[in-house]
Amino acid sequence: MDSTQAVYQALKEAGINFIVSIPCVNLSKLLEMVECDSKITHVPVTREEEGFGIAAGAYMGGMKPAILMQNSGLGNSVNVLASLYQLYKIPILMVMSHRGTEGEFMSAQIPMGNATPRVLESLELPYFKPSTPEKALKDIKKAWEISESKGVPVGILLEITFW
């Protein structure tokens, strides 16, 4: 199974219908599929924090939101996750291309790559780290169930070797 296809299929099966995004090279195929899907409202944003704001508003308006971003965007979004999402118990699926992991060619990605799981842990946000497309298909659906039922953002970390 193709990795991008698995993530897309899982988003569809989870019922995600509103996606905000900031590109990562590893997400480029997925972003094209999302953009072409007439059942998904796709809003490209200027910064991940802004994307979280838009997705929160969309959730209040009845949508099921996800954000597609690089893990660097998590660093840009710590306050909105704590003082909007956690405060009001708003769900969102955070699909992250996890750079700075095994196989990274760009040294600049390493510090945030290392910090990413611990940033999620310090916010007490659950996350999954599927290593194969089959696991991603399962984990993403499970992640949205947890997110929606508990009103908590849930992360999906997709490391370089996943792609």
Q: List residues near another protein by CB under 8 A.
A: 18, 41, 43-47, 49-63, 65, 79-80, 82-84, 87-90
Helix (H, G, I), strand (E, B) or coil at 57: helix
CA 118 to mean position of chain CA atoms: 16
Whichever of 38 and 107 has its CB closer to another protein, that residue is 38
Residue 105 corresponds to which amino acid? Answer: F
Smallest separation (angstroms) from another protein to the CB of 122: 17
Neighbours of 46 (CB within 10 A): 8
Contact 147, 19 (CB under 8 A): no
HSE, CB side, 13 Å, CA atoms: give it for residue 25.
4
DSSP string covering 70-139, please? ETHHHHTTHHHIIIIIIHHT--EEEEEEE-SSTT---GGGHHHHHHHHHHHHHTT--EE---SHHHHHHH
